[in-house]
Structure 1
């Protein structure tokens, strides 16, 4: 169950949000504030998520988010806004806002956003638990050579990513160099922020790769971004197909057993397995690229730190 804190100067909106949170079954609202200045880090520190209005009569949402981040609050921010100013929205994202809810408040939109943030938090906690378990195994000297649990050794993020590509059977596929560059960039972001609570937006990741490309950087940014996105999508589909094929041949295969449910939603693995049995020329699988990249990054970091 998640804990929410609401910062909103309209009492009717606060009441509505509290009711939606309670009815969603995702958690509870543990506190409220009618102004950003009242939302101190002490007040919100127990909350997993702060739902905050952008424009308030006192301290606005962006200033409040910035102040809480500087005070080391590590939770998530959902911002409520009726503003369409791209610069202001961009600044909000830069300060650490995860996503937006548009005014006037729509119950279905709020529920969709809350569930998405909840899923990301659950995934993050799950991945952190895996990382902690791996560290304990390494410290105790009992780590074995099962997929994803290599013996501790000093390896770079690139070396470990390449090792994972080999385990997954996709080392020779197009898009692997893009994936490795993404891993290296995410590592620099984690080192700069001390922690990587979640992936940046995929578009931001692809843009950073396109901008840093050694071949004509920024020559045609949008075209390069689309090309990178397509290569990553094809690579992820190849991974899903390979793991599904392993599962069809041997449901107990260690690579399938370890990675399938971690990198993908398992219902999509089952769907792809059925498609391979038919066989089908196309796939109806819905790829969760964020989950794949996040888990691949966590696995790449597990013995490289």
Structure 2
């Protein structure tokens, strides 16, 4: 499921956008704010697929939010909304990274069309990058960290191939897999997931619930990418390698049907199976 952040100074408009996104099943609105600097912090923390932002925000404007986010390496998409008709401002918005500029008052049909198309383009880009990295990871000099052991490097490569690197929750997920498999090596099969969430949370002064949510979102992203690969080509390398090793296949099939039809059971992830499957694959 695509993740969406809304930054807008008008609460009524925020509610309208949230309603449309939920009604049309366009994604999950993970955060909302009316402050530019807060929006930037939320982008850094959550790495959403799409940011819908108004130009006139508190502290810093929408163009500055985009400029700083892009400088930080953010690869998600932006849709700018504004009541201003200044052509120079609009030109700058596109220059700073906006995929689309919508003038107020917003047209509901236009907004739905724009969000659908921007997210569709974004998902196509992610899928292509994920497959390319899976097939050519040995050529990517930034993936292999020479001072880490081969096992951790292999896990990182798999997560890159699944398209979750750079996504909010990636580091939490990596830490979870490594800690979980320390238990496995010690023959502690019934380890507590909550204990691992708490361990990770203590390292960064966060509560265990936040860590769990980050990990679940990251695994959900991986599941979506594998499901999309299966819908595109049932014989794809991504789908063949990961569909049953990381997910309960019946749940993955539900996810594929949901992504294809936009309705029905969304399919569930199994965090323990995913972590154990990644570790087994890292032996190959």
| Alignment TM-score, normalising by the size of structure 2 | 0.45
| Alignment TM-score, normalising by the size of structure 1 | 0.42
Greater Rg by CA: 1
